[in-house]
Structure 1
């Protein structure tokens, strides 16, 4: 199962999963978008209209599954950016309802069936915005940070039932909800230059990480968040000024070799 499967990262995850041999239930609130993905993929994909923030919609879709899924990818999400002082409460609620509550409702309904069948894998799509605040990110950062902690809680509670739960935190990804950002070539250039790997990520990068966490190669991995970000969440000091004189190897002549721990 892949939620938010109608476009962007979700659609690419569906395609990669089918290539790996999965039959995929492609969930999306936009049924036409889900159907287009299924037509592109073929008979191994079944489109289903589901509102992940509506518990009845989720329960009905899970009950309709012919068997417990081996893999659930909670990808459905919305963006509501803006300064917190100006953010409408309705936008806050929508982001939290879809991103965080939707992840909870779908995962819980699926985990019940997975546990009864002996286990499975759940991968929740978080964001680097859940690891670090960003300017005017509104409710998005809070909802994605919530997904990261919810992932840990699910992993703790469901491990004994054979269910592994992990998260993927995409960084600057040139896909889906970021299309409007990267439509400006100068913004694309500047943002690419800030990534240590000197490029934007792709939806395929995220899909590969998801399928790794779902695979037997990650069979002893649960409760973890894998940042797929080209190193950007570890690059804060890259922007700090630093004199070249401290970058040489060893101690400068005439200096005390006993220092205070290094220049940092």
Structure 2
């Protein structure tokens, strides 16, 4: 890091996945010379309780807020809190460049496209993608301890696409399938460093997805893989495992990959904040 570089906290708060404001933040921050943002993302903020965690973080380490929230009561509360903290609170429709420029007091960069530089973060993202690809579908479980996040679940619970999405955010994500009749490995069961999250879905939804998968492979025979009673037992056993290990559980039945990933990142950041607070 350049010693003359000005660091500042930047909070990105959204009632959706946060992808839009993340993109806006990168594009805007790239235009300022001599400053670098420490980003804090809070997605799926749809209640006062969920907003409380973000406000607590803002109060402890103040910095500008970029937000996208539809509910007037939540956006008003966020703006009022930021006003009391004496920090800018900017809607995605506001002139963010002007306000942030005033806050930072630094010059603008004239070079476009600086939001995607080949810097340390870029290479960390590539490393995360390489790790995720080599640890897909239960591969290379001997070094799962090196992962940031490990997703566990029965077949067709969106483990792989979710891991790839997380990897594109610089997260080393691995996934391990739960196979009926096969015990989880000791490598998985003994994890201490990674955040382990169990993904589940309704049996009816899983049966539908699995049938579509078999049709795409020109497989038309009846198997336990799509038998409703077997699938229900699979999901029940998975939930029992998650409960025994006290792993976080996310039901992906009605969630997009982006929504699931946003929730995982919320849990990951919350754990990181708790660990830092305990130091």
TM-score by length of 2: 0.29
